[in-house]
Structure 1
């Protein structure tokens, strides 16, 4: 219901979400990002109002003066309207015309490893194994110059991209020799996502000359890493990867981070995500991130974390805290709009996980594609709505705090297409997860010592991460 008070704006109580978890109750007004700790008595009053019970009836049932209820509501209204005013004044981040945040460039459709959990079938995406040619690389270069004014980063991907160092060097040299006085205004950053098992003089020279950041896939200590990350002969890869990281760290112009896949084998061995992060800090002095193996993407362990260990709060904890503090909505991955993937043959896909799925082909870098064809654009309506959660998820209280992966939430694996409706089970889980984080934010702010410890940890991490 809408409760009327003589204020500048009416607060719609349907826009208030109440959360009770871990001996804490909070009120969250999602349009204004207002987060307030409340007691059970106030919670009951608000829930009664939301259910349609009149103030006079609540006054009798709760033995409270009606004027005090109005005073309570007015105090919330003042805070909410103040936050709404701050939100109205916020300056939207300008999206540059024809600007791209990231292009994932598949330059290798092959891999020298055979990781047991690989979603890409040993790196070939169920296609024939081959490397991108210099001709296709030149077509990609022309595509970038002709279509975009700004490209933040180009990430060499595979398979294993270091199998194709020729194309890495060739393509980077094309961009480095461009005058940047016509369409593309500045040089993109170049990065590599690698399994870290290839190391030679040629690669070292290319990395030193052109590469800004490298993400290395490694799952932890030797035993757990070598359970899944094996080569074609079935041998473990840990020591080769460790040597690669140690060597890369001696190149001052390159930032290195890890990407670890958290699997059921970690859970079986009682290895927590905290354990993995701590290992990488102690052994390599690097930061990074963990991704869940598909089979445990919604494992209940993900919901278990505590503000007592600020060193390893969930990655999205800081994002959500930032959104609430600055009254700015979080974005999902802007597939096709701000980032996309290119196959070894020059086909365009929304996401690197879509490569090889014919129904998700967004065109060719040499012909019609989603950047120059309205017909193709109209065929994928989701991509224009991803950044508009109010339209995409109009009735969801966590629409401004949700960074859901479109591939995970909107992709229909049976129909092999993107839907306009998210997966309901995943949304239910996501809401529970965000509720847990909001409770944790309130608890952390209440503990001054832990709050300062958290701020210090974030400042330390920011110096090491490549965003």
Structure 2
């Protein structure tokens, strides 16, 4: 399968199955497209190219034969028109990886903000409020160790609600993890996701010592952030949290953090929010499209898509400019490794929700991931008895990119790995479905990310000349 597109002055050809990316001239781009379109003879292709480019660009039959030769060589090298070798082994690969590697600990089902678009219903996850006890948190780490096999690096995310509302338990869980990791030959990587309201000097010092990563929630410009991210008494939270975030990131030395925002129908010009955060001094950025009911005023619409596509392109071009000027920023969705990247197992099987990754409620119940918490039909068991609903786990284990019919003909399938099971379930009623709106945004982001890599490669070539 071949995917071709033009962006920012580059003609880009992606060989889907090998992952090879080619930046080509107009003639090669058109010839490759004609090869893809059907059984057209080389003689007919040559005639069409001479008619289109012969007079205007001085193209000769010899030039066309040279392009044919380049294409043939790339095909022989397995870098163009390659076959899909992965589908026959997709389900086997998934079954070979059954060890647990990560937990999302819901240490607080309560929150000190009242964000109207919150998928977790202001931290309650459609249930009662509650805080995880230290005993439950310790047992969760024991459960992770017991089910991790020979994995060494284990990931634990402190989540909510707002985890800082149960800060003493967070510290206690980390301290317990550090006390047991050596005897079990494990290394805990802790992550904290916070809205920032409860940040103080102690939180900063402890997190910068113990947290492998921190995720800080900020939607961008003050008017955008304050529109939906309000305190429980209805005030905007921007002025409260931004000084704390700046102090946190500065003390952290700019390492291993993300500013995570959400854009909605009200701010489809979300690049202005990204650049605003960059101008505040934050350079590790993520901006996610809201996922909510279509009836919600915040919901993205079909009419928003062209604007959003343009915004993603604008962001990529601005990031390239800032990089050239020595002020780079990182955007989570544009982080792509064309020379290595995730192994083929990850590309096929996705995030591992329900199998390698589980969420734990304050009461110790297990769910496939944080976005399924509160959906009782997805409760898989608890941290004391283990998995007591193996049928749910099996459903997620069989869920890979080839299990979704819509993904089979998608050029981006080995980049998204089938997408988010929770978004699919909410949109299509099945974890094997797809959230088509999200797919369209994802494909645009991947096109932009690949274009940036092409542009960077051309920049390096020019510097070396």
Q: Sort the TM-score into its range (normalised by shorter chain).
A: 0.7 to 0.9
1:303 to 304, 309, 318: 309
In structure 2, C-alpha distance between the alignment counterparts of 1:83 and 1:393, rounded to whole Å: 23
Which residue pairs with 1:317 in the alignment?
334
Please give the residue correspondences for 1:267-416 in structure 2 after superposition, counting only pairs within 5 Å. 267=268, 272-281=272-281, 285=282, 287-294=284-291, 295-296=299-300, 299-304=305-310, 305-306=313-314, 308-309=317-318, 310=320, 311=322, 315-319=332-336, 322-323=337-338, 331=347, 332-369=350-387, 375-383=391-399, 385-386=400-401, 393-402=407-416, 405-407=419-421, 410-413=424-427, 415=429
The alpha-carbon deviation at position 249 of structure 1 amounts to 4.4
The alpha-carbon deviation at position 103 of structure 1 amounts to 1.9
In structure 2, C-alpha distance between the alignment counterparts of 1:75 and 1:449, rounded to whole Å: 20
In structure 2, C-alpha distance between the alignment counterparts of 1:234 and 1:189, rounded to whole Å: 35
TM-score normalised per structure 1: 0.74
1:54 to 12, 28, 41: 41
The alpha-carbon deviation at position 327 of structure 1 amounts to 9.8
**After superposition, what is the alpha-carbon deviation per residue over 1:202-260, rounded to whole angstroms, capped at 9, x for unaligned?**
65675466444332212234443222221111122223313432443465598544222
Which residue pairs with 2:180 in the alignment?
178
In structure 2, C-alpha distance between the alignment counterparts of 1:290 and 1:272, rounded to whole Å: 11
**After superposition, what is the alpha-carbon deviation per residue over 1:404-463, rounded to whole angstroms, capped at 9, x for unaligned?**
632366324463x412x43445445544543454455445544559999xxxxxxxxxxx
Work out whether residues 123 and 161 of structure 2, in 8 Å CA contact, stay in contact via their aligned partners in 1.
yes
Are 1:72 and 2:67 counterparts?
A: yes
SS of equivalent to 1:352: coil
In structure 2, C-alpha distance between the alignment counterparts of 1:221 and 1:105, rounded to whole Å: 30
SS of equivalent to 1:296: coil
Instruction: For structure 2, list consecutive stretches of 5 or more residues without a partner in the other structure.
Output: 52-59, 84-92, 292-298, 323-328
Which residue pairs with 2:138 in the alignment?
138
Work out whether residues 411 and 418 of structure 1, in 8 Å CA contact, stay in contact via their aligned partners in 2.
yes
**After superposition, what is the alpha-carbon deviation per residue over 1:290-310, rounded to whole angstroms, capped at 9, x for unaligned?**
222232397433322245421
Distance 1:259 1:81, change over 3 A: same
**After superposition, what is the alpha-carbon deviation per residue over 1:271-312, rounded to whole angstroms, capped at 9, x for unaligned?**
62442332331xxx5533222223239743332224542136
Which residue pairs with 1:158 in the alignment?
160
The alpha-carbon deviation at position 162 of structure 1 amounts to 1.0
* Count of equivalent residues: 418
TM-score normalised per structure 2: 0.74
Distance 1:139 1:272, change over 3 A: same
The alpha-carbon deviation at position 158 of structure 1 amounts to 0.5
Distance 1:191 1:432, change over 3 A: closer
In structure 2, C-alpha distance between the alignment counterparts of 1:436 and 1:206, rounded to whole Å: 37
In structure 2, C-alpha distance between the alignment counterparts of 1:451 and 1:278, rounded to whole Å: 27
SS of equivalent to 1:289: strand
Work out whether residues 18 and 78 of structure 2, in 8 Å CA contact, stay in contact via their aligned partners in 1.
yes
Which residue pairs with 2:90 in the alignment?
none
The alpha-carbon deviation at position 356 of structure 1 amounts to 0.6
In structure 1, C-alpha distance between the alignment counterparts of 2:74 and 2:33, rounded to whole Å: 19
SS of equivalent to 2:362: coil
Coordinate RMSD, CA, aligned:
4.0
Please give the residue correspondences for 1:217-236 in structure 2 after superposition, counting only pairs within 5 Å. 217-236=217-236
Which residue pairs with 1:422 in the alignment?
434
SS of equivalent to 1:17: strand
Distance 1:448 1:407, change over 3 A: same
